[in-house]
Every structure is written in C-alpha cells, then in structure tokens.
Structure 1
Amino acid sequence: MDAIAKIAVEVVGILSIMKRICNMVNIFTITSFSAFVFASTTTLLLVQTVTAKPVQIKKQVNQAKPLNSGVRIYPANNSLPASRLITIERAIKKSSNMQITEAKLTTYEEFAAQTGMYKSSISNNRMVWIITGFVQGEFRMSKGRSVCTDNAKLVELIDAETGDSFGRSVHCPLNNQINFMP
C-alpha cells in the first residue's frame, strides 16, 4: 500500500472510533464533530508530510551530446596581456623543420582576410602566430600523395594562447611537384 492509502485507512479507523464515542457520550454536535475530524485529519497528514522521506530523482546516465561537441571553440582573447600569450620562440619551436622567414603575431581576422580561410570555431578576435618559411629538399604533403621536390613554402597558424596548431598550408613552386594520386 502506498502512503496515502495507509493514511486513508487510519483516518477511517479514527473516524469510526470517534463516531462511536460521540454516539455513546453524545457530547458533540454534527458541526463540532466535523471540525474535530478535519483537525484530526489535517494533523495526521501534517505528521506524515513532515516525517516522509524525500523522493530521489535518478539522473539520466547517457545524456545526448550535441553533434559538434568534439569541436573546440576558441573565443576572443585579444585583450589578454602579452604575458599570457606564448612567446615567439615557443611558436617557432613548433615549426622546427623549416627555415623561418617570418613570424607575425596578429588576429585570426587578419589572417582569414589575407587567405580567405575561415573557421567558425575560432573568433575573429583570437590572437594567432603566423609562421612562414621554406623546407629545403623533398617535402611530402597530404598523406604522402604528392611530393614537393624542393623549396616548399609553409605557412603555419598557431594559437597564441594555447600553442594549438590551427593548420598548415603548403605551396610548392611550379615544376617542383610530383603527384601520386591513386
């Protein structure tokens, strides 16, 4: 039996006892008897409510994740002090396999305007390092499908706060590229 059914049985039992007492003693009028029953029921329900254990709600274990939940969002950070950004030395260290010709700290918006490459996960006001350089000799691109035989120009984009790489573009001089398309 649930709690409400038990209360109802108790109330009915109390009412029948009280009715017998009232009939025997005949001291209550109908109105006072009704008031007594109401007060008794209210007191009983109040006691049950106060002493009841709270109901626990189970949390859903496997909540659905948004489809793009694996994509990291890079918010604006152009108001950070320079001490919170990675140094030029650390940015260049990530590009150790090339002869660096330029390293520039700028906003992602400026980079995207120059290249036409936009990523919605990166704020236009995100600070980035643009590292430009050349690789002498052979350089394999895109899973080994093509090879730049000499002087491949690389442009790497590195997040200035975390050091994460946002990607690399490779430009091979004319007549220096061999394609191995399957």
Structure 2
Amino acid sequence: MVNIFTIALLSTFVFVGTNNFLLVQIVTAQPVKQVNQARPINSAVKIYPANNNLPASRLITIESAIKKSSNMRITEAKLITYQEFTAQTGAYTSAISSNRMVWIVTGFVLGELRMSKGRSICTNNAKLVELIDAETGDTFGRSIYCLPSNQINFLP
C-alpha cells in the first residue's frame, strides 16, 4: 500500500512541477520574431517608370533589341513609347509607365513554331511581335499570329 501511495505522490509531484515549469515558460517567454514574413501580393511586381527623357546613349540599341529576337526573320523594329503601343494594340499593364520607351520587334518564324513545352502552334510563317524595354532589355511580352490554314488546334 505504501508503494502505491508513494508512486501516486511522486506522479502528482512530477505533474505539478512540469505544469508550473511550463506556465512560467509561457508567461515569461519573449515573442518569436517571424523569419519568413508573408509579402503583399503586389510586392513581386517590378514597376517601370517613365524614361522618355533619357538620352539615346542610355537605351539599348536596335541591334541589341533584334538580338533578343534572334529566332525570327525581322521585318520591323521601332522605338516608341508604351502609350503609343497601347494605342495600337489595346494591351495595357499598369506596372509600365505610358512614357516608358519600348522596342517593338516584328518578324516571322519560317517553318513550324514550337512553344516551351514542345507543342507546336503554327505549321509555317508565324508572325511574332515582341515588346522589349528600351532601357533594361527586359521582354514585356510576345504575341503570336498564325494564319488559320497554318494553325494547330489543341482543344479536343
């Protein structure tokens, strides 16, 4: 009987001691600084401010713009403001200032045009229009136009 009483008393002592220890830890604990804080959704979006007042020496050359589009036969390359581009196409991105200088590079891809996953979208003479930032050389986008007779439809 003494053994059961001693074991019960010892168990109670350990339980109470542990609870007191944890309670002291909770009350005196300092807040933990979060290392990987969540970023706002828009924080990864790069903003391109106006640069139409920069001298031509600060912009990439036509040769550099064409080199970025080396996989096509170039038919036209022109330097315009983003506002002129949006007026022509209707496309608009708020992260790009309307007074940002851009290169519009137009050309054709002879033969079959394949996308990054290997799917082809056009069997011959796809027309490509690339929008390239004139200051940084970043590519803003690419439009692909394919004649209906050369277009490959992937939808079932």
Report how far residue 178 of structure 1 moved.
1.2
Q: 1:117 and 1:142 mapped to 2: Cα distance?
A: 23
Determine the structure 2 residue equivalent to 1:128. 102
Matches within 5 A, 1:79-118: 79-118=53-92
The alpha-carbon distance between structure 1 residues 81 and 178, as it changes in their structure 2 partners (threshold 3 A), is: same
Q: 2:38 and 2:44 mapped to 1: Cα distance?
A: 13
Q: TM-score, normalised by structure 2?
A: 0.73
Q: 2:117 and 2:78 mapped to 1: Cα distance?
A: 28
Residues 123 and 150 in structure 2, CA contact (< 8 A), matched pair in contact too: yes
Q: TM-score, normalised by structure 1?
A: 0.63
Residue-pair matches, total:
125
Letter in 2 for 1:128: V
Letter in 1 for 2:97: S
Q: Which structure 1 residue ranges, 5 or more long, are not aligned? A: 1-57
Q: CA RMSD in A?
A: 2.0
Larger Rg: 1
Residues 108 and 123 in structure 1, CA contact (< 8 A), matched pair in contact too: yes
Determine the structure 1 residue equivalent to 2:125. 151
Give identity over the alignment, percent.
78
Which moves more between the two structures, 142-151 or 170-179?
Answer: 142-151
Q: Provide Cα deviations, 1:70-110, integer angstroms capped at 9, x if missing partner.
A: 11111111011100000000000000011100000000111
Q: Which structure 2 residue ranges, 5 or more long, are not aligned? A: 1-31
